[in-house]
Structure formats: C-alpha cells, structure tokens
Amino acid sequence: MAITTSTGLISQIDYQALIEQLVQLKRIPVDELIATKDRLKDIDTAYSTLESRLKDLRSAADELRTSTGFKVFTTDVTDSSILSATASSSATEGVYSIVVSSVAKAHKLIASGVSDSDTTAIASTTGSFSFTVGSSTTYSVSVDTSTTLENLRDAINNLNAGVTATIVNEGSGTNPYRLILTSDSTGTANSITITQNDTDLTFTDLQAAQDASLTVDGLSITRSSNTITDVIDGVTIELKSADSTKTVDLTVSRDIEEIEKKITSFIDKYNAVVSHIRNNNRYDTDTGVAGAFFGDPIARSVMEDLRRTMTSAISGLPDTMNRLIHIGVTTSSDNGTMSIDSAELSDALNNNFDDVVNLFVDGTSTDGFASLVYSLTDDMLDYVDGRITNKIENLNDNISDLEEEIARKENEILLYQEQLRIQFASLERLLAGLRAQGDFLANL
C-alpha cells in the first residue's frame, strides 16, 4: 500500500510532516556545508577584488619605477597653422626657432580626357603601360583595344606600386573623364616616370613633386616627408603649410601636470587596496557578521607590508627628500589612506625634480617607493607562489570540494526521503493487515 496522501489511510499519521521533519534533521549538516561554501565564496570574491586592485597598484608603480616614466614632455608652437609637434621620452627641454619655406608634395600626373570612363577604349593597339616611382622597379600593366579608363585605373591600383590612380569628371566638354596618377609618397625622390605608354592618353604634370624645406635654429633642412623625426631628438614635427617670412617657436618642456597625474594615480591605487582591506576586515557586533578578511592573516599581511613600505624612508636619500611627506603626501590616522597636497607636489616637481624622481625610481644605489611597491605587489601576485594567487587557488579548491560534498549529500537525502516513504508505506500495509485480522477475529 503506497502513501497517496500526506496522511496514512489506516494509521491517520501525518507522514508528510513526519518525513519533512526527518529530512530537515538530515539536512542540518548540508546546510552547514552550504553556509561554509557561501562564506568561502564571499571571501573568494573579496580576494579577487583585492587581486585586481593590487594589479592596478602594480601598473601605477610600473609607470614610476624607472626614470623613463618621468620623461614626459609637452610641446607648444607659436603658429599651429604652419606646424605641430609631439615629444617622446627621449626629448629634452628647449626652444627651437623654425622657418618653413616649403612643404613636401606628392607628384601628380593627369591624363587627357575621354568621353566615358567605362566604355571608351583608351588604346588603339595591344601593348603596355609602364612606370616607375623614384628609382624603384618598373611596373607594367597590359592594354589593348578593349581597355577602358576604369580598367587601367583598377590594373594600376592592383599593382600596389606606390601610385594611386583615380578618375575625375571635369563635368564639361566632350571628354570630361581624366585619369590622375598620384605618388603615395611625397618628395622629389618619389616622382612618377612613365617609361612606356601604349595608350592614346597624354600625361602632363598636375602637381610637381616637392621636398620640404625648413630651417631649425638657422640650420637648413630638406626632407621628402612633412613628418620629420630626425632633426630634434625625441621630437616629431608635422609640417602643415609654408611661410618663409614667419618664424615659429617650438617649445619642448617637461609635462609636470602629466607627472602629477601619475603620482596621484599611484597614491589612489594604494588607497583603493587599503580601503578594500579595511572595509572587509570588520566585525559587526550588532549582527554578528564578520567581514571577508576578518581574522585573515594573508589580507592583514598585505596591508601591513604595503603600509610599512609606503610610510618608510628611502635609504640612501637625503633626509630632506626621503619620505612621501616631503612631496605633500600624508597618511590619515583614521583609515590609513593617503592624501596629496597638490600645491606642495607641484612645487617639489618644479624646484626639486631630480630629487622627486629619486624618491620613486629604481636607482643605481637606492630603491624608490614605486620600485619597492612594484616588487612587493609583483611577489604577491606571482603566478606560482604569490600569496594572493595561492590564497585564491586554495579558496577555489575548497569551494569545489564543498560543492562536490554537498551534491553527494543532497543525493543521499533524496534516497533517504524515498526510503522513508517506502518504510511508511510498508507500515501502512502492515497496519492494514492487522486491521483485517482483527476484523476477522471479531466476526468469529
């Protein structure tokens, strides 16, 4: 006799309630495992965030741990319609007087016109159209009596020979369609020379090839391109127009504002790590809930090591510039985060630049703050034996083990629940048999 309702037909026992109570008791260890798993997941999430913030701090430190990170320059020109400029880390501060007499131009040839670019044949015989760009290889395309202007354009462009062919429509006359050949590179060294022309087209100069001509502090310069990278070390000059009567002053100066941003970012990333650890290292006495890092030695060690590094003095540097406080960085006694006095930082960079650099970089005899923090965070995040990496791996392994254990016990509970149903069904059958015997005896 199966149990078809929540209550036994013979015994009137509420089997459903009884089964639920028994299963609930059986689930207590599972619920404890689930609670443990959820706790570990919270800790894992907190550590994953910590890992991300340590990576951000390491990147910010990497920007400042070598002198190259401080070699940031800005440029200014007195007439941006004539030229512009950018400076790389290899530049030096200085002012340069530039006069642009001519800008580089690409050679352009234009062909005589035809009535239709798509149907009009441009050759009366079979042959070829050949050309060179500067002193390069000769390139050729075949032509015949069926070749049109569009066919010739496409054939030239398919060569990728340093020449671009285009068709323009002058819009008037009987032969408005004309082919233009343009050198892909500027300067006289990249002129186009037609070496064989078996078409009926006649080519003439539309724009002569021209080199850029300028003077830099009185030194005459000629280049084939308007992008000039080899005149002033670390500076790229872009010529835009020419005016031989105008002198343009190009000023290359240290980009103090950009360096301030790098230092500020370094402090901000440090604060993000500190705040995250502190926020997760609390115990709420009202709710009895502990933060993910509460009592955790790994997170505490990260906090202590970083704080010790950032508040120490750099060995080997003068007492007047060996701590972050000397550039306006102070530490809050309330939460351990750091703040920057931007005016003091700017003053230090403008008046004691080399000393500020030494405060951060990996020098020949000293290790600055950025160098120390980079090494410290890199060790924490080491793929093989970093303390953060190992902690996260251990957490994930434990969570995986718990999930397997929970799944196994959940299956056991399902089997246990089914066994209870079978046992109670057997009990009902037994009671039914006893009742039948009782009724039989009562009738004798």
- Whether residue 280 contacts residue 289, with contact meaning beta carbons closer than 8 Å, is answered with no
- Whether residue 85 contacts residue 250, with contact meaning beta carbons closer than 8 Å, is answered with yes
Number of helical (H) and strand (E) elements in the chain, helices listed first: 8, 19
Regarding whether 231 and 171 lie in a shared domain, the answer is no
Let me know if residue 441 belongs to a domain. Answer: no
Regarding whether 375 and 353 lie in a shared domain, the answer is yes
Regarding whether 227 and 99 lie in a shared domain, the answer is yes
Full pLDDT tens readout for the chain, 444 residues? 444 446 555 555 666 777 778 878 888 888 888 888 889 999 999 999 999 999 999 999 999 999 999 999 999 999 999 999 999 999 999 999 999 999 999 999 999 999 999 999 999 999 999 999 998 899 999 999 999 999 999 999 999 999 999 999 998 889 999 999 999 999 999 999 999 999 999 999 999 999 999 999 999 999 999 999 999 999 999 999 999 999 999 999 999 999 999 999 999 999 999 999 999 998 888 888 888 889 899 999 999 999 999 999 999 999 999 999 999 999 998 899 999 999 999 999 999 999 999 999 998 888 999 999 999 999 999 988 899 999 999 999 999 999 888 888 888 888 887 777 777 677 666 766 666 677 666 776
- Which is nearest to 197 in space by CA: 270, 143, 252? 143
Q: Which pLDDT does position 2 carry in this prediction?
A: 45
CATH of the domain at 200: 2.60.40
Regarding whether 419 and 402 lie in a shared domain, the answer is yes
Let me know if residue 407 belongs to a domain. Answer: yes
Regarding whether 430 and 320 lie in a shared domain, the answer is yes
Q: Which pLDDT does position 1 carry in this prediction?
A: 42
Q: What's the rounded Cα separation, in Å, for the pair 435 and 439?
A: 6
Q: Which pLDDT does position 7 carry in this prediction?
A: 58
Strand order in the sheet with 139-143: 139-143, 127-133, 192-197
Look at residues 186, 207, 228 and tell me which one is the last residue of a structural domain. 207
Q: Which pLDDT does position 35 carry in this prediction?
A: 86
pTM for this one?
A: 0.77
Let me know if residue 249 belongs to a domain. Answer: yes
Regarding whether 220 and 338 lie in a shared domain, the answer is no
Regarding whether 289 and 142 lie in a shared domain, the answer is no
Q: Which pLDDT does position 298 carry in this prediction?
A: 94
3-state secondary structure of 317: coil
The dihedral sign for the CA sequence 156, 159, 163, 169: positive
Look at residues 181, 207, 233 and tell me which one is the last residue of a structural domain. 207
Regarding whether 284 and 323 lie in a shared domain, the answer is yes
Question: How many separate domains does the chain show?
Answer: 3
Size (the chain), residues: 444
Question: Percentages helix, strand, coil for the chain, rounded to the nearest 5?
Answer: 45, 25, 35
The owner of tokens 């240290």 is 254
Q: Which pLDDT does position 23 carry in this prediction?
A: 78
- Whether residue 386 contacts residue 58, with contact meaning beta carbons closer than 8 Å, is answered with no
Q: Give pLDDT tens digits for 220-249.
A: 999 999 999 999 999 999 999 999 999 999
Look at residues 207, 225, 243 and tell me which one is the last residue of a structural domain. 207
Q: Which pLDDT does position 283 carry in this prediction?
A: 83
- Whether residue 298 contacts residue 388, with contact meaning beta carbons closer than 8 Å, is answered with yes
Regarding whether 16 and 136 lie in a shared domain, the answer is no
Regarding whether 97 and 112 lie in a shared domain, the answer is no
Range of the domain at 170: 108-207
Q: Which pLDDT does position 367 carry in this prediction?
A: 93
- Whether residue 184 contacts residue 214, with contact meaning beta carbons closer than 8 Å, is answered with no
Q: Which pLDDT does position 3 carry in this prediction?
A: 44
Regarding whether 33 and 125 lie in a shared domain, the answer is no
Regarding whether 151 and 295 lie in a shared domain, the answer is no
Residue 73 burial by CB count (10 A; 0-12/13-18/19+): exposed, middle or buried? buried
CA distances from 83 to 27, 86, 306 (A): 78, 11, 47
Let me know if residue 442 belongs to a domain. Answer: no
3-state secondary structure of 60: helix
Q: Give pLDDT tens digits for 125-161.
A: 999 999 999 988 999 999 999 999 999 999 999 999 9
Let me know if residue 440 belongs to a domain. Answer: no
Q: Which pLDDT does position 14 carry in this prediction?
A: 64
Strand partners, 393: none
Let me know if residue 402 belongs to a domain. Answer: yes
Let me know if residue 299 belongs to a domain. Answer: yes
Let me know if residue 8 belongs to a domain. Answer: yes
